A = this chain, B = another copy of it.
Amino acid sequence: MVVLKYNANFDLKGSFMSDKTTRANIVEAADQLFYRQGFEHTSFSNIANVVKISRGNFYHHFKSKDEILAAVIDFRLEKTRKMLDQWEMDGESPEDRIRSFIHILIVNRDPIMKHGCPVGTLCSELAKLNHASQAEASKLFTLFREWLSRQFVQLGLEEEADLLAMHILARSQGVATLANAFGDEAFVEAEVKQMCDWLQTQITRTVK
């Protein structure tokens, strides 16, 4: 494992490895700022202030702002994949794993109330900007969609799996949007409970 990691870095040596820390800092700072302020409303100065590097120096790491966005989306995709893999390992049953998904709304309740869902708000913004990375951002949704779909398949709901996946994906999105608009914690909790109940209904429906 350690060797693998070392090799992986070694392969990227030269143009990459030495500035990896700075590059990573930029991506992580941009990730947070894009989430909290939106992509368009975040300037190079904003990111530079956080990372504490000069504006001009930026273009040694990224050719353009769009390239930073692409890197941020990749970063989020990777983070999400890891999280889903983790859930796959931790969750004892498919319903457990789906419950993990539903409970993001609780775990991330505070940031969601302040800034909405990082996936949904990014996709919405890029749609308005008609941005080239729009499709790439939607892959974040696809990641969840396919993962959820797989869980439903494992529950023996092959035929409806994708629709069921889209269903809770949509409900999570809706809850995030309203939580952001109203700042109502109780509503979030109530909806999470309902979604878990709904999940139970789907499962018992299988048994029949």
Contact = CB atoms under 8 A, between A and B. Distances in A.
Interface residues of A, number: 38
A125 interface: yes
A166 interface: yes
Given A170-B175, A174-B172, A187-B166, A180 B37 contact: no
Given A36-B128, A187-B166, A180 B123 contact: yes
Interface stretch (A75-83, A93-101, A114-122): A114-122
A41 interface: yes
A8 interface: no
13 contacts: A38-B125, A38-B129, A115-B127, A120-B177, A120-B181, A121-B124, A123-B177, A163-B187, A163-B190, A167-B191, A170-B171, A174-B174, A177-B177
